[in-house]
Structure 1
Amino acid sequence: MNQEKKVLGSERRELLLHWLQTEDKPLTGGELASRTNVSRQVIVQDISLLKAKNEPILATSQGYVYLKPPGEQRKKERIIVSFHPPEKTEEELYIIVDHGVTIKDVKIEHPVYGDLTASVMVSTRSEVDDFIKKIHETKAAYLSQLTDGTHLHTLEAESEEKLDAACKALKDAGMLIE
């Protein structure tokens, strides 16, 4: 933290909410901490307080995002079922983002816990690279490993045509279950 004055309590949370609502990209805890001159841990607590007030904030691997109400979303969404081994994950994600499509999440049906969903939120090759790097650095398992490769993704794009093109490419690669 630098020597500037800290932004305190409710004023800070109002600022965080404003920034999250107006940004089109995820904002990291570190970036928000720097803007308000507090620690990242304080930001994590602030985000928890905002979520407790039913603010639709999602923590992704790229940072925090504010989920816009359905009426404000002009983008098209589609849920697909995919199947591949873990070593094909990067290829799958590249295929999708190369068609101008965002991968919002990954879902599996766990035999004990039921439906499990994790945020992915990648839209570019660079974001895919960061996601894969975090998986490797943390030695985390892909959710799809719990279901022998079967998983769902929520995809988002500006048009049905982009979603169709991404799905066709996945089908051609043998990764799409229809």
Structure 2
Amino acid sequence: MNGQERRSEIRKLLESAPEKIRAMDLAKRFSVSRQIIVGDVALLKAEGVPVVSTPRGYYLKREGVEPSGYRETLVCCHDRAHTGEELSLIVSLGGIVHNVSVEHEVYGMLTGNLEIETLEDVHAFIQKMEGDQFVLLSALSGGIHSHLIETKDRAHMEKIKGALDKAGFLYRREEP
């Protein structure tokens, strides 16, 4: 199977998949390396295929599907050690953490897709972060970062904001 055929098959799998598909699983299926799959996905994205990459796999962004809940971007600040606490607090109060973004002086806004919906997702993210000693995006900005968070309604978002504020995670700019 050549690369174009493999990419066509990957697209078909993503179109019919009920859940995210990991790069490692695609690599096994096609008997290639994970890096080949990463390249294939990059080429699919370049062709305009709406592939979303998350720490737990790939999925296709569905055309015409609007978010069903209330969304807001919250700016937070904390060190690496408090990442799990922050994410757990958000999902335990009914939030979905879609991404994390930081402002970089050279590259501008850098965003990583997270799609963290459950405490299990939080634990998997923290385990991956600690096991592989990845540098968090927030390390590039002194701990300041933002999350696009979705809740079922504004009231749930307000509870999350209150809890993040109480925990000291909401960023408050100090005036000189």
TM-score bracket for this pair, using the shorter chain length = 0.7 to 0.9
From 83, 88, 92, the equivalent of 2:77 is 83
Task: Choose 67-76 or 80-89, whichever is displaced more.
Answer: 67-76
From 27, 31, 35, the equivalent of 1:38 is 31
What residue ranges of structure 1 are gaps of 5+ in the alignment?
Answer: 1-6
Following superposition, the deviation at residue 106 of structure 1 comes to 0.9
Match of 2:148 in 1: 154
Counterpart contact for 1:29–1:40, Cα < 8 Å: no
Q: How does 1:39-54 map to 2 (within 5 A)?
A: 39-41=32-34, 42-54=36-48
What residue ranges of structure 2 are gaps of 5+ in the alignment?
Answer: none
**TM-score with structure 1 setting the length:** 0.81
Deviations 1:38-80 (A, max 9, x none): 3244533432232121111122111112223354432332111
Task: Choose 61-70 or 75-84, whichever is displaced more.
Answer: 61-70
Counterpart contact for 2:6–2:30, Cα < 8 Å: no
Q: How does 1:108-127 map to 2 (within 5 A)?
A: 108-127=102-121
Amino acid at match of 1:39: V
Other structure's SS at 1:177 match: coil
- Separation in 2 of the partners of 1:158 and 1:22? 26
Compared CA separation, residues 58 and 173, structure 1 to 2 (3 A): same
Counterpart contact for 2:92–2:118, Cα < 8 Å: yes
**TM-score with structure 2 setting the length:** 0.81
Amino acid at match of 1:160: R
Task: Choose 37-46 or 110-119, whichever is displaced more.
Answer: 37-46
Amino acid at match of 1:121: E
- Separation in 1 of the partners of 2:57 and 2:90? 21
Following superposition, the deviation at residue 111 of structure 1 comes to 2.2
From 94, 99, 103, the equivalent of 1:105 is 99
Deviations 1:121-163 (A, max 9, x none): 2111111111112112222222212222211111123333332
Match of 1:3 in 2: none
Task: Choose 82-91 or 63-72, whichever is displaced more.
Answer: 63-72
